[in-house]
Structure 1
């Protein structure tokens, strides 16, 4: 008896088969898509690792080439027993190694013996070691560039060796070798989430993020290859390289392959991608876990099943809803009309409120109690340079906070959020998005809704940058005016003094020269010629002072030189010797400055000392057998010169104005001497002070910076 399918049953069967087909197709698509995504990620990771490897090699590639052309390197190969030459080459290699970060640099003669190395002073020094059996030496000594990776024969540490022949006069004298350590790169790989492997042309893994894979092969190593590795001791004393426990499964849709293996005793499936490095003879393998691919397929299957179930439920719901559609249609139309009217009213109210807020020139910012920005107006966005989308939802620290005031602004923000903000506002410096600073005043107030519930805090932000800049310009202008007034008064007095003294002093010089010529013609006594010589010297000195005063007014004319303080003090004392004898005063020199040298104008510095000694003599008038002290001492990075008298000292109320222009205690004084002295000292980068001594008298001192 045959059973016939009814049309209704047949339709149900078709629906079920279609649903299963859709679910299966979804799973396959999700798996392919995740594989493609993972493969692209592996390509990018491989490109980054390859770029890092090539960059590491290229960064040190020039070293052997440059070192091979150094004259000392070539000379040492010609004279290997020259100890001084070897020491220079050792220091040169050590400096190159420290500067470039290479693991080591060393020089090998044609016999393979190391003559000099950057680690010459370490127990593991390469000096005296033979590297004749190394392939890089064999290539370089034959005139080719050598490149070889292996374990060090001396240190046992792995590295990439780059060798360059040292040529001179068409002959190869020896080989310069640089060693680059790849261990930091391997350490970085070990901290990564996915294993990375680097193997040589024989399939032997020499760098790996998985330690148990090191010095294993992806295939059996042939006997000839084992003999070559052992002969050159590429990997130390190892003579066996077991095959890795890898099972490879190819995927036709992608260049990547699935790697079934174990990591730290745990079975795992990895998606792997090989990238050859032909210039180095290596192959880089990057991997990622297949777990996400499996999860993507499972998730797609579940989502597809859920979607089919929801679709079927939707169809059932639609059929039920169709029955009620007619009776609800009228009610729905009425409801939509009312909703439309209410929406229109709300939009109009919202548009009016937004127009009011957008027209404000003051920045407005609303924050939730936790500091999240929930509203900003256009004025605030323009003030900080960030759009509303960039600010809404942000919590402290905000992007416009000034990087130099982060702690201060965090404290002010916390005070505002806790209701402790100053009612009169507080000043805050912020950083505009384009990089310039903006000075603002911030006023905070509670944000309360229509039901009286506290929803956060509203801040008003006012830009006061222009006001602050105007205040700064005004302060700067006042300082400039004060300085200009001071320089103008001193310059005017100095110019007048130069103009009035220049002509009579030059006339005195001319008369003295003429008198000296007449004395020579009429053979006067020797004393007359000496006196006339002194007149000529003093008149020239007066003229030189006039020139230096003018140079002081115009610094471009100044004549600065390196001189000793002792020479300036000694010459100034010699100039005043006649006056001191005439007034019965003694000048005590106490020079203890270790020959300190300063850079300055000798004549102007001598005038400072002459003026200070004159002031000391005037303070001691009426005291028989007075004594003036002139001392120099080393202080920090300078030298301090002091003129000490035994006079009555400076009244305390006059100490603050003793250097002021036109202030004087002498009836015939102008009050410019000490002011000009201080100006000369400051022009030399120094400072001048005055102090009353405990035993009586005053001490005028100035400090000048020393030069080598």
Structure 2
């Protein structure tokens, strides 16, 4: 009997241990998977922020090569490739523009790929005279109008990202404008820590990384065609590519996987990896986190689960032995419950701390991205905010005069202006992208809407506005809001020039010439000095005091007019012609708008 009882107890003991092992395995595995899933979500968000930061850093300089086609010295150098004086003038302009824009290098190439002028023309290793026809960014720009490329410089051995834009004279390609931008600042933000970050290009070569020893490592063996392409384009210059020993071990799903990687001569380390494609580049960004903390979380959870199982077994044992020591069993149960509560409190506190740290990291990354966008927001909202203030003051005056219709008109204009500010804070770089299908834009309506934003400013300054020279039905194809943006910028600049002038006058006229429409904005101000006029369309150049302008207004306006198929130019009038200056917009003409379909704008005009 005793032998049978002992056997039963032994079997029960083995069963209890087996059940405890199962509970610990299930609890530890669940905790490990939960921690990995939480990290995967965070890594996805962090990689999205890193991707946005990289895209923002590249977009900051995307527009620089396009501005070169607006400067006369660039066009002169390309039209007269053998003229040393014109090349020297272009060198000086590129050097000055590069210092203001903060790019790495700016240079011009003729149609054969030879460098005619460069911002580093003074440097011992200048680009001037080099043959860069083998570079893909030049070939793409010459064929398709634009080109992008990442590579190592063959002159100075420094890696960078290249932007290239073809400069045309009609259908003829005069040459290519190129900008080289360093991405080292992005890597500096990826300072080594618990996590590792790297970006691999389309060939699988690491071009950006938080671990310097991984730079130019190959995540996969290059095929013979890949080697041939890299050699012909000299993409990696004289850099020796080395294998990066990445071993794929397990696919965890949802873009996460387990990999093993060795750093220098250190032992192989297992990582949890998350990879995402970077749109428009062919690159892939990978974020790595050591696997040991996740495994440690699983072990801790298994321990907690085991303790819970032990507690349960002890409770059952205590219930079975209650007839022998009821009070002792209750005391043990209370003690074990207190221990369990302490463990749960610790787990809860640690989870809350991890969540707070994650939220703080996400917030910091969001603020970093918003900081890069602040300059554009300030410039775009400057004029609408000033116009909104004027319209509110105007409404107050009309209210005191008991002119409700005028008050309603000003409130309606304020509403449209607020809507416009909302659209500005959405796509801040809308001037760099094409709009949808063009629609007929009535010149008279666009001019009236733009003037309405400046109504109070015009009234206070006593400026006489003459817009009688705009035919009712005259129209151009495009986007009315973008045309109003250009006119508003020109009107605002004219009012700045008319400050403290006697009998100030602003004249707007438009006429159709063949299949074109010519719009002129003229003032009788002091005019623009020749040295200032030569730099009007340079980015970041302004004569306004600090805080009142970024020097981007005319650059943005010229870009918008260019996208509408036109040109924007300036000339100063002589004293015999009345003085002041004239800005001329030359745009394609649209079919005349029938008078029966015209609805006058519901806002006050000057």
- The two structures have a TM-score, normalised by structure 2, of 0.50
TM-score computed with the length of structure 1 as normaliser: 0.43
Larger Rg: 1
